[in-house]
């Protein structure tokens, strides 16, 4: 059952075809109205733009970019923009659909969108990136806006790129419009708590999973793959609430201590030296070994396709919290389910980021900014209620948490569509 529900493509499968198969699977499960099912298969809007950019050497280069809005039944569209050489329209379509489901499962008043530009940001200068961003923003400005479609960072786009988008859009309309994009720096309307929001969300749903399974925090051990934005914050916050984080890694490898690591010291070492594996008084392990450690919680927060049919039989954790997008392969999904390992799926586990993006948009619209504790309290409230709703759906349909998250999401989007009716 879980096989049909994973994000992962297992090879070169077209991601949009995978997304459509997932939708078909859920549609059958919830006996979805065939007309609504048909509507949800297609993105509402797709914009392809070919635009020139002046390079530093004076030459011109034409780039191709996309912005796809999958569904707007629940509100304006929300979703990131990625800069990558391998971006395709089908990938952007699929990711826009995932955003529709992710916003719906969190009950945010948004539809889903995604954007991308085919480029290699690693070989572009900062000035070239700025010109590319401003021209791409201009090209897609006919469909974005605070009430239409609100972009955010994704692969190889960051707060600086969001600032250029905000500035370009604002120049067009003649006044500052911070709410056109989220993930901005604080000085132009960013939100407190945004940087650690995804890791905090992972921590909150992990605590909910442990509560559900009746596991005490002081007997919980955690292994975290990745120590970046998501993994680093999740590890620190889980250690702060009393869990023992026994392992953490980066691209060079992992470190392990059975009594628990001093996570703030590990993160300080990483920011000072760029790595963690040369820390003193710890065992060095490989990323593969980390995944198979004897621990209560495994939190993959680095790359996709880390838990596969090969290593899934050896995973010892009771809970897997998917901090990364798509860290579990479809075949591995089934193995974990058979082994009764409780998996909190990415669409729920890492949705803390988009949730605080929503808070950023709300604050920008109101021009009234919240304290960090208010952001964190509201995030906790949304993460815990979404977890409870997904769990209740899993119990109602006697299914796994990933399938349940999709059931809940598709049902919410379908209800909005049915309630609104078809225009005219
Ligand atoms: P990041 O770049 O800050 O950190 C990535 C971490 O992974 C780093 O510690 C890096 O050393 C480690 N890493 C890289 N290659 C590795 C390897 N081969 N083995 C083990 N570790 C390796 O990225 P991030 O923002 O923390 O994102 C991590 C994952 O979470 C991605 O899948 C991303 O799509 C997903 N995600 C992030 C957010 C967010 O708000 N940042 C939101 C939703 C999902």
Q: Which residue has the higher pLDDT, 7 or 375?
A: 375
DSSP letter for each residue of 115-168: EEEES-GGGS-HHHHHHHHHHHHHHHTTT-BTTTEEEEE-TT--HHHHHHHHHH
pLDDT band for position 61 (cuts 50, 70, 90): very high
CATH 3.40.50.10860 domain position(s) in the chain: 42-188
Q: What is the CATH number of domain 42-188?
A: 3.40.50.10860
Q: Compute the mean pLDDT over every residue in the chain, rounded to the nearest whole number.
A: 96
Task: Please compute the mean of the pLDDT values over residues 136-143 and round it to a whole number.
Answer: 98
Mean pLDDT for the stretch of residues 6-32: 82
What pLDDT is stored for residue 1 in this prediction? 42
Mean local confidence (pLDDT), 156-173: 98
Q: Are 402 and 332 within 8 A, CB to CB?
A: no
Q: What's the whole-number mean pLDDT along residues 389-404? A: 97
Averaged pLDDT for residues 260-285: 97
pLDDT at 321 over 90: yes
- Say yes or no to pLDDT of 298 above 50: yes
The answer, yes or no, to whether residue 409 has pLDDT greater than 50, is yes
pTM greater than the 0.85 cutoff: yes
Atom 32 of ligand 1 has which residue's CA nearest to it? 324
Q: Is the pLDDT of residue 107 over 70?
A: yes
**Given the CA of residue 154, which atom of ligand 1 is nearest to it?**
34
β-pairing, 60-71 vs 45-54, is antiparallel
Residue 255 CA to ligand 1 centre (angstroms): 17
CB-based contact 394:105 (threshold 8 Å): no
* Ligand 1 centroid to residue 301 C-alpha, Å: 5
Confidence at residue 3, expressed as pLDDT on a 0 to 100 scale: 45
Position in ligand 1 atom list of the atom nearest CA 270: 9
- Rounded-to-integer distance, Cα 393 and Cα 161, Å: 38
- The residues lining ligand 1, judged by C-beta closer than 6 Å to any ligand atom, are 198, 225-231, 249-251, 287, 301-303, 323-325, 350, 353
Domain with CATH 3.40.50.720 in the chain: 197-340
pLDDT tens digits for 331-384?
Answer: 999 999 999 999 999 999 999 999 999 999 999 999 999 999 999 999 999 999
Average pLDDT over residues 256-277: 97
| Among 203, 270, 293, 301, residue to substitute to test ligand 1 (most atoms within 8 Å of Cβ) | 301
- In angstroms, rounded to a whole number, what is the distance separating the alpha carbons of residues 165 and 202? 29
Residue 5's pLDDT is what? 55
Instruction: Give whole-number Cα distances, 7 to 39, 69, 231, 406, in Å.
Output: 21, 19, 20, 11
Indicate which residue's Cα is closest to atom 3 of ligand 1: 228
Which residue's alpha carbon is nearest to atom 29 within ligand 1?
Answer: 324
State the Cα–Cα distance between residues 135 and 60, nearest whole angstrom.
13
Q: Which of 193, 226, 237 to mutate to test the pocket of ligand 1 (most atoms within 8 A of CB)?
A: 226
| The pLDDT of residue 7 is above 80 | no
Q: Regarding the domain with residue range 197-340, which homologous superfamily does it belong to in the CATH classification?
A: NAD(P)-binding Rossmann-like Domain (3.40.50.720)
> What is the Å distance from ligand 1's center to 351 Cα?
14
Average pLDDT over residues 211-216: 98
Q: Which atom of ligand 1 is nearest to the CA of 155?
A: 34
Under the banding of pLDDT at 50, 70 and 90, the label for residue 10 is: very low
**Measuring CA to CA, which residue among 156, 206, 4, 182 is closest to residue 103?**
182
Dist. CA 338 → ligand 1 center (Å):
28
Instruction: Please check whether residue 146 is in contact with residue 170, taking contact to mean a CB–CB distance below 8 angstroms.
Output: no
Active-site residue, selected from the candidate residues 8, 44, 78, 114 = 114
pLDDT of residue 330: 87
Q: Reply yes or no on whether 8 is catalytic.
A: no
Q: Which atom of ligand 1 is nearest to the CA of 346?
A: 44
Tell me, what's the pLDDT at 12? 53
Query: Ligand 1 centre from 232 Cα, in Å?
Result: 9
For residue 272, the CA-to-ligand 1 centroid distance in Å is: 19
pLDDT of 109 reads 98
């Amino acid at each position: 059952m879980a096989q049909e529900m994973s994000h992962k493509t297992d090879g070169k499968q077209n991601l949009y075809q995978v997304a459509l198969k997932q939708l078909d699977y859920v549609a059958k499960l919830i006996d979805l109205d065939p007309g609504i099912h048909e509507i949800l298969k297609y993105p509402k809007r797709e914009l392809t733009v070919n635009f020139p950019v002046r390079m530093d050497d004076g030459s011109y280069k034409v780039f191709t970019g996309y912005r796809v809005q999958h569904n707007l039944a629940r509100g304006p569209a929300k979703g990131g923009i990625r800069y990558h050489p391998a971006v395709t329209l089908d990938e952007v379509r699929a990711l826009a659909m995932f955003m529709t489901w992710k916003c719906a499962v969190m009950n945010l008043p948004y539809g889903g969108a995604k954007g991308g530009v085919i480029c290699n940001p690693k070989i572009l200068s900062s000035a070239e990136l700025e010109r590319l961003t401003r021209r791409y923003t201009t090209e897609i400005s006919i469909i974005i806006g605070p009430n239409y479609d609100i972009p955010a960072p994704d692969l190889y786009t960051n707060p600086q790129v969001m600032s250029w988008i905000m500035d370009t859009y604002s120049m067009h309309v003649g006044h500052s419009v911070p709410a056109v994009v989220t993930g901005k720096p604080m000085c132009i309307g960013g939100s407190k708590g945004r940087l650690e929001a995804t890791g905090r969300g992972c921590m909150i749903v992990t605590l909910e999973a442990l509560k559900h399974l009746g596991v005490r925090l002081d007997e919980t051990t955690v292994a975290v793959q990745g120590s970046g934005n998501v993994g680093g914050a999740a590890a620190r916050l889980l250690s702060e609430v009393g869990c023992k984080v026994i392992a953490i890694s980066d691209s060079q490898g992992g470190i392990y201590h059975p009594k628990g690591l001093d996570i703030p010291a590990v993160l300080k070492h990483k920011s000072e030296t760029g790595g963690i594996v040369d820390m003193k008084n710890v065992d060095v392990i490989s990323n593969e070994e980390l995944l198979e450690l004897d621990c209560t919680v495994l939190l993959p927060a680095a790359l996709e396709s880390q838990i596969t049919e090969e290593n899934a039989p050896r995973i010892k954790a009771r809970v897997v919290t998917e901090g990364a997008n798509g860290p579990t392969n479809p075949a591995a999904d089934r193995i974990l389910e058979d082994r009764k390992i409780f998996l909190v799926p990415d669409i729920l586990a890492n949705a803390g980021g988009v949730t605080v993006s929503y808070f950023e948009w709300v604050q920008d619209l109101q021009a009234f900014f919240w304290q960090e504790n208010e952001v964190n309290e509201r995030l906790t409230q949304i993460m815990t209620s979404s977890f409870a709703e997904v769990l209740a759906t899993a119990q109602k349909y006697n299914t796994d948490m990933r399938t349940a998250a999709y059931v809940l999401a598709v049902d919410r989007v379908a209800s909005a569509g049915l309630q609104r009716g078809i225009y005219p």
